[in-house]
């Protein structure tokens, strides 16, 4: 715990784990989803005194900058930095640092897009931030079903009670 720094309004969901011997620094307004794994060290295996590894470990801090979002079931490998405002999609394995505002996906995680810098900076300047505590702050989620999903699956959505049959 002495090697973990957490910023203000950061939320870490349950069943997540941090092996923080190498240090973990998480900024403010960061959302860490359920079952996220953060590793901050590696065993010495090259030219080790024993196999498969020995008693040496390499400390490699993990840095997660302000306003980042790490999705459910993701893994952050030793030494990576998640840039400010970046999004790590659920189930991603981050093996390299993620640029600010990037959206990454996959194993290994690759950049699939970027958030709008202009919109991000405007929200920040106006103090429009989400503390990742939706139910606590707003009381409920605002539920939306995309138009294409409504069109493609109208019957099934109606059967589930998500839309009226006539919608």
Which entry of 19, 25, 43, 153 is annotated as an active-site residue?
43
The size of the chain, in residues, is 167
- The string over 117-148, giving b where at least 16 C-beta atoms fall within 10 Å of a residue's C-beta and e elsewhere, is eeebeebeeeeeeeebeeeeeeeeeeeeeeee
Q: Is 43 a catalytic residue?
A: yes
3-state helix, strand, coil in the chain (%, to 5): 15, 30, 55
CA proximity to 65, closest of 36, 39, 79, 86: 86
Any idea which residues carry the catalytic annotation? Answer: 43
């Amino acid at each position: 715990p002495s090697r973990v720094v957490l910023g203000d309004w950061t939320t870490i969901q349950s069943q997540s784990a941090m092996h923080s011997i190498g240090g973990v620094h998480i900024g403010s307004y960061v959302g860490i989803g359920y079952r996220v794994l953060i590793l901050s060290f590696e065993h010495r295996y090259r030219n080790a005194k024993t196999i498969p590894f020995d008693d040496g470990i390499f400390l490699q801090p993990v840095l997660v900058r302000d306003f980042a979002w790490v999705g459910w079931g993701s893994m952050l490998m030793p030494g990576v930095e998640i840039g400010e405002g970046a999004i790590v999609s659920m189930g991603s394995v981050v093996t390299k640092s993620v640029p600010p505002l990037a959206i990454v996906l996959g194993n290994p995680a690759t950049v699939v897009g970027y958030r709008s810098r202009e919109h991000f900076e405007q929200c920040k300047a106006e103090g429009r931030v989400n503390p990742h505590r939706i139910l606590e702050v707003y009381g409920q989620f605002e539920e939306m079903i995309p138009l294409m999903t409504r069109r493609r699956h109208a019957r099934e959505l109606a059967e589930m009670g998500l839309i009226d049959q006539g919608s």
